[in-house]
């Protein structure tokens, strides 16, 4: 019988930390119970030297089938917003706080509906995210939504209060914003405004990266829980 998991992905970390080794090890992860029903582990993707890392919540239905992050509806919205912010997705490392799809089956349609991961599942999966951040060492991490933000910044972090600002985390500087799926769910009349605000946050990230390139010391040292918005 498939077990509920060991309690932490740390039990499955490989002895060498390279992206291919991590990806291969994560494919066999049983750190929490989510591996039991999902199709496969959806590991992060992108250049090993990416300066920007994007962290979502967990793969969705399409990501679970395809084995790649952000390829479904949220991914299309994300791609468009990145483009509007002048960020080339091919240069970005894209991953999730939780690497397996969590869902409930809708009774009549049998459709698999996204279910928010539990705190314990986010914690169990964090070693993969930490390992990815350690290898890639991005100058900036953008957390998409509260699951990613809280995985990186702790349970008290509130995206609603702190979105669009660069703050320090154990994994490096983080800018938190909303999750693209929240924009997809927004009612028609607020959706366009939500989307513009999302693009604005990504633009702040792009500018912050450009400044960090011009003055690399900045990337090492936004260590105050920075209140300074660069907007
Ligand atoms: N939502 C996420 O958070 N991540 C994905 O990869 C897809 C949808
Ligand atoms: Fe491992 Fe994360 Fe999948 Fe849980 S969700 S089994 S911790 S990879």
- Report the pLDDT value the prediction gives residue 2, as an integer from 0 to 100: 78
Q: What is the mean pLDDT of residues 70-83?
A: 98
- Whether residue 220 has pLDDT greater than 60: no
pLDDT tops 70 at residue 231: no
pLDDT in tens, 20-64: 999 999 999 999 999 999 999 999 999 999 999 999 999 999 999
What is the C-alpha separation between 70 and 119, in angstroms, rounded? 22
pLDDT band at 218 (very low <50, low <70, confident <90, very high): low
What is the distance between the alpha carbons of residues 217 and 220, in angstroms, rounded to a whole number? 5
DSSP state at residue 15? S
* Residue 221 pLDDT class (50, 70, 90 cuts): low
Whether the pLDDT of residue 227 is over 50: the answer is no
Q: Report the nearest atom of ligand 1 relative to the CA of 68.
A: 6
Do 22 and 128 form a contact (C-beta atoms < 8 A)? yes
CA separation, residue 93 to residues 44, 132, 133, 138 (Å)? 7, 9, 10, 8
Checking if the pLDDT of 187 tops 80, the result is yes
Distance from the alpha carbon of residue 63 to the mean position of ligand 1, in angstroms: 7
Pocket, ligand 2, Cβ cutoff 6 A: 5, 9, 26, 29-32, 34-35, 41, 98-100, 121, 124-125, 128
Average pLDDT over residues 185-206: 97
Q: Which position has the higher pLDDT, 199 or 221?
A: 199
CA of 215 to the centre of ligand 1 (A): 32
Length of the chain: 231
Q: What is the mean pLDDT of residues 208-229?
A: 67
Alpha helices in the chain (DSSP H): 19-26, 61-66, 73-84, 119-136, 146-153, 159-162, 180-185, 188-214, 216-220
CATH class of 16-217: alpha beta
Token pair belonging to 31: 């750190």
Cα(96) to ligand 1 centroid in Å equals: 7
Q: Which of 38, 46, 63 to mutate to test the pocket of ligand 1 (most atoms within 8 A of CB)?
A: 63
Residue 7, SS3 per DSSP: coil
The residue contributing the CA closest to ligand 2 atom 3 is 100
| Residue 149 three-state SS | helix
The percent of residues in the chain predicted with pLDDT above 70, rounded, is 93
């Amino acid at each position: 019988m498939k077990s509920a998991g060991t309690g932490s992905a740390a039990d499955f970390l490989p002895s060498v930390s390279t992206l291919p080794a991590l990806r291969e090890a994560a494919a066999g992860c049983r750190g929490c119970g989510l591996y039991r029903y999902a199709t496969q582990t959806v590991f992060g993707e992108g250049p090993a030297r990416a300066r920007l890392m994007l962290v979502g919540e967990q793969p969705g239905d399409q990501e679970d089938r395809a084995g790649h992050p952000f390829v479904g509806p949220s991914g299309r919205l994300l791609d468009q917003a990145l483009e509007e912010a002048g960020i080339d997705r091919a240069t970005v490392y894209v991953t999730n706080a939780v690497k397996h799809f969590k869902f409930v089956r809708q009774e009549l349609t049998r459709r698999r509906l996204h279910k928010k991961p539990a705190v314990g599942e986010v914690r169990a999966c964090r070693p993969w995210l930490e390992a990815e951040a350690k290898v890639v060492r991005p100058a900036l991490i953008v957390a998409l939504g509260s699951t990613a933000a809280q995985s990186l910044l702790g349970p008290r972090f509130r995206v609603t209060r702190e979105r669009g600002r660069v703050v320090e985390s154990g994994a490096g500087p983080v800018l938190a914003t909303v999750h693209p799926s929240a924009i997809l769910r927004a009612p028609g009349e607020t959706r366009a405004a939500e989307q513009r605000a999302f693009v604005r946050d990504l633009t702040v990230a792009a500018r912050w990266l450009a400044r960090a390139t011009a003055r690399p010391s900045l990337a090492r040292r936004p260590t105050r829980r920075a209140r300074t918005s660069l907007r």
